[in-house]
Chains A and B, each alone.
Chain A
Amino acid sequence: MLANFHFFTFASPPRFYALAGRLIPWLWAATIALAGAGLYIGFFRAPTDATQGDAYRIIFIHVPAAWMSMVLYMVMAFWAAIGWAFNARLASMVARAVAPTGAIFTFVALWSGALWGKPTWGTWWVWDARLTSELILLFLYLGYMALVNAIDDTRRADQAGALLAVIGSVNVPIIYFSVKWWNTLHQGATISATAAPKMVATMLRAMLLMTLACWAYAFAVVFTRTRAIIVERERDVKWLNEGLS
């Protein structure tokens, strides 16, 4: 049994298609449970902030969305590069499937940031390093999606997309460190690996639960979209037309 197990088994689109199909319902269940718990703690257990009042509760969607926007970009660039380097079909499909989800998290981070900035900073938007580099991230996602859709030859489109995604990935550390490198209006990192959290435990718990919910959501929706792309691309391949219900 173990001797037959091959690490790259799930790099085969038919295997991945079946596995993802089985996982998706559980991922949605996890998303709902984690988001329910996170929202409950965030809105009913976490206390009102002493300086920001209840406006700070935006953090429970803003920070997870911002984290996801950066992580998903790296995931997209990674799989695009793997697909390009090893001509791995599934990797390129996953890269394409990640892009819209990353773009949506980027939009949510920018949107909730604007709605948080107005009551706390007095402005919806400033051209500071953190906000500007996050806006560039949105344009990178949109540019990647436009580019891969504009080229008819699938493999060439994947290669061009991979190039854009890999070059654009320099923006991710710029976003992350922007609050240190420049004197920005945006506050510093909420959670740091080197310092104790500066938050009340309930606030932190709500934020981490919401982050896990976003992870489960991202897996569920990316897997669904990957399955759609597999069907679109392998339409004429025998396995799809046989024995799949």
Chain B
Amino acid sequence: MSWGSTAEFFAMGGYALYVWGSFGVAALCMLGEPLMAIKRHRDARAATSENT
């Protein structure tokens, strides 16, 4: 374990902006994309059942 405290972990040795900026945006993308795909599937299914 290379971190002395939680604050030290979040500080990332002074590179917090860069490290958390990278992982944060990646996490947002990888949460948003599946939600959009699931919604697309759900909407398509709903449109199908309206047809019948």
Q: Mark A97-116, 1 if CB is under 8 A from B, else 0.
A: 00011001001100110011
Contacts of B48 in A (CB 8 A): 231, 235, 240-241
Interface residues on A, range: 35 or more
Q: Is the interface of A mostly helix, strand, loop or mixed?
A: helix
B47 at the interface (CB under 8 A from A): yes
B1 at the interface (CB under 8 A from A): yes
The reply to whether B21 and A236 contact each other, CB–CB distance below 8 Å, is: no
Q: Which residue of B is nearest A241, CB measured?
A: B52
The reply to whether A231 and B44 contact each other, CB–CB distance below 8 Å, is: yes
B22 at the interface (CB under 8 A from A): yes
A5 at the interface (CB under 8 A from B): no
The reply to whether B13 and A54 contact each other, CB–CB distance below 8 Å, is: yes
Listed A/B pairs (22) with beta-carbon separation below 8 Å: A44-B1, A53-B13, A53-B14, A54-B14, A55-B15, A57-B19, A58-B23, A61-B22, A61-B23, A100-B33, A108-B29, A115-B17, A118-B18, A119-B15, A224-B37, A225-B40, A228-B43, A231-B44, A231-B45, A232-B47, A235-B48, A241-B51
- Residue numbers of B with Cβ under 8 A of A are 1-3, 9, 12-15, 17-19, 21-23, 25-26, 29-30, 33-34, 37-38, 40-41, 43-45, 47-48, 51-52
Report the 9 A-B pairs with minimum CB-CB distance, sorted nearest first.
A54-B13, A231-B44, A228-B41, A112-B22, A55-B15, A228-B40, A224-B37, A225-B37, A115-B18
